[in-house]
Chain A
Amino acid sequence: MVELVWLIPTFPLVGFLFLLIAGSRLGEPKAGWIATAASTCSFIVTFVVFLGLLAKSGDDRSFEQVLFDWLPAGSLNVEAGFLVDPLSMTMALFVTGVGTLIHLYSVGYMHGDPKFSKFFLYLNLFLFSMLMLVLGNNLVVTFLGWEGVGTCSYLLISFWHQRDSAATAGKKAFVTNRVGDWGFMIAMFLLWSSIGTLTYTEIAQSSPMATVTGTAVSLLLFVAAAGKSAQLPLYVWLPDAMEGPTPVSAMVHAATMVTSGVYLLVRMNHVLTSDALIVIAVVGAATALFAALAAVAQQDIKKVLAYSTVSQLGFMFLAIGSGAYVAAIFHVITHAFFKALLFLGSGSVIHGMHDEQDMKKMGALRSLMPITAGTFIIGWLAIAGVPPFAGFWSKDEILLAAWEQPNIGPILWAVGLVTALLTAYYMSRQVFLVFFGDKRWDEGVEPHESPWTMTLPLCILAVAAALGGLINLPVVADWLYLEHFLEPIFSHPHQFVSSTTTKIILAIIAVLAGLVGIGVAAAVWLVHRVKADQLEPKILENAMYIDAAYSKVVGGVGHKAFEMISNADKKYVDGAINQIGKTTIRLGAMMRPLQSGYMRNYAIGITIGGLVLLIWIIAGAS
């Protein structure tokens, strides 16, 4: 059954091409249903392939399907091929699964939009690119998907491009992502020149590179991942990306695309060196803390979730840096469930509030939007790390892995713990602001519950967010399904060394931190014991002014430097080319008289040529 893997990306591609041709004629809602059908078919096929993979025994779970030679160039032969193994199937399953739900949700959310069919066209293209990214059997195919999701992200962020801020945000995302792409490309070049292959299975079997090269490749891959997965210092595009429609924020900028950096590093775990891992862990922890601080003071319902996403991605990188790849993937999955749920929930709120995004103008929506509120609360408990919801299990595993990091473990753990506390606080703040307290919305706004196409995905995701932890319960060794499933793809399977007592103590501290966060939030926002204003300084709301600093540097000094380069380019590079052109024109003017326009003159030219040929033949023959 694994041979069907080529069908997985084919469905969204066909959907995309079909909508490209007929989309605007189909209009609403047919275009949306077709895109959803393509996504659903893709999910079903993925599930079938997954079952086929499960049917094989543990060591045999790797299947490559080569479609054709894509770039045969000397000793470099890049194939267009797919790799089916536990990692790619795990990713593909939740990408298509969550993707399908979000397609369905979008049918309701995008109701009445003039570019309805175009939205679904982009969504299908995104799904196709994302599947190429996770299913490709070598780095180049992954890079194709990588660029594809980047393009779709750009198109979707600036979907409402008549809004100036949306167009700018799209450009910002694209340009920032290019920095990461640069890292990806250089890493590929280095890999190729040092081990001579770009295929994952061959990379896994090749002998290790020299330490310096290996570290360079690892760090460049991390630059790529940091660009795509919004880590410090390249995170700036993700909060702005919330200009896109909310389903896009849920799918592209929370559940799937931004986790591709995590996927890339986990996929390349064979080449990551220990030095690079420390850098990754530190940057991950710093990002997690920094973004959590920024999230504390946001007023926009989606901005909170955006910074929260950055923070959670930091958690995943912290896990990778600590060597706990399974924990990273586990958190990718649970995060996809609860963050997609939260985003879709916020979308439902925005939809019901007629495009109001300021949390200060909401409140008391609990009774008016019961399904949205209920599911949102499940998502909140999951992300806050309250057992037994999904987020608790994955976050706990990451914190444990950080604790066991040999060099700076306790520091990483402490940062993670503070982040967990802050996470619980800002999410509680959001829930209390939106769903509890007094009504604060403007006159004339009538909040209402969303249609079934939007609430159904919410309910499914709520179940997943509540029960997602079941795939990797650390209670009994046999229950670690995900861990055992993913084991074959790692060079050094990660082992937790702490005693059971330590584990339990750490888990209790983490839960307590989460409860403290919730408690503080309740004290401030629910019963108003503390004045809220002091808790939200401007510096946090503006995310330490990093964004502004970027604008200052690039817009000031950078702008001048670029202008100088541009002038030099005009003077010397363009000048040289213009000189070539002028010389050609002058030479041409000299040759003009040869073209007399008389046909018989030209015939003389032919005969002279013929005579010369004859003489040449005679000279050669004698």
Chain B
Amino acid sequence: MVDTIVFLVAAAICLTGALGVILARNPVHSALMLVMTLFGIAVQFVSQEAHFLAAVQVIVYAGAIVVLFLFVIMLLGVDTAQNLEIGALPAQKWAALCFGVGSLALTGYIILAVDNPVTGRPGMGGAIDETANVRLLARSLFSNYVYAFELTSLLLVIAVIGAVVLARKPVKQLPEEAGR
């Protein structure tokens, strides 16, 4: 019973937040609504016994990514309301609607009506266990997926350097030319 209540409340938070993200006129509000969704999902993670992921979700997503979004919004000064009218692409709204309805119907059909095992193969990481999930996750990451794990560190470094290069203020003039 508690599970059900927790699920329903968390789901309500997630969906409200998600709708808020796409409907808010002000980007700042969207970002805050995103935080709400992320918290809801973290709660769902906890109820699915993915404690480590829940923690990471809150720390990385809510703590770092959304803050980054807010920084950028403030930096660029685009925190003003924008109209939601569709501009250049009039058909876009209908296409989006078709997409939403279509994929909702299809995924719902798959989840609720088609009842087949996905692949039938046993997993690589090992069976999960309520008490030792964090340990299992760690073992999986540092044994089977250790190369992928190391590669992600490389990816992050590249992303950071790339972002610094991209977001640097464009140099107006070369120093020598300025001197002349």
Contacts and interface: CB of A to CB of B under 8 A. Distances in A.
Interface string A599-616: 011001001101100110
B140 interface: no
B119 to A, nearest CB: 12
Given A614-B103, A621-B116, 19 more contacts: A598-B88, A601-B92, A604-B92, A604-B95, A604-B96, A607-B103, A611-B99, A611-B102, A611-B103, A611-B106, A614-B106, A614-B107, A615-B106, A617-B110, A618-B106, A618-B110, A618-B114, A621-B110, A622-B114
16 contacts: A598-B88, A598-B89, A604-B95, A604-B96, A607-B99, A608-B99, A611-B99, A611-B102, A611-B106, A614-B103, A614-B106, A615-B106, A618-B110, A621-B110, A621-B114, A621-B116
Contacts of A608: 99
Interface residues of A, number: 14
B102 to A, nearest CB: 5
Nearest to B88: A598
A607 B99 CA distance: 7
A600 B110 contact: no
Contacts of A601: 89, 92
Interface in B4-51: none
A617 B102 CA distance: 14
B114 A604 contact: no
A424 B110 CA distance: 100
B91 to A, nearest CB: 9
A604 B100 CA distance: 11
A600 B88 CA distance: 11
Contacts of B96: 604
A622 B106 CA distance: 13
A91 B107 CA distance: 78
Interface of A: 598, 600-601, 604, 607-608, 610-611, 614-615, 617-618, 621-622
Interface in B70-106: 88-89, 92, 95-96, 99, 102-103, 106
Contacts of B95: 604, 607
Nearest to A608: B99
Interface of B: 88-89, 92, 95-96, 99, 102-103, 106-107, 109-110, 114, 116
A574 B92 CA distance: 46
B85 to A, nearest CB: 14
A245 B116 CA distance: 82
B63 to A, nearest CB: 29
Contacts of A610: 103
Given A617-B110, A621-B114, A600 B92 contact: yes
B38 to A, nearest CB: 23
A617 B107 CA distance: 11
A607 B94 CA distance: 13
A611 B116 CA distance: 20
A22 B68 CA distance: 54
Given A607-B99, A611-B99, A600 B106 contact: no
B18 to A, nearest CB: 17
A610 B102 CA distance: 11
Contact of B89 (A600, A617, A621): A600
Nearest to B110: A618
Contacts of A618: 106, 109-110, 114
Nearest to A617: B110
Contacts of B99: 604, 607-608, 611
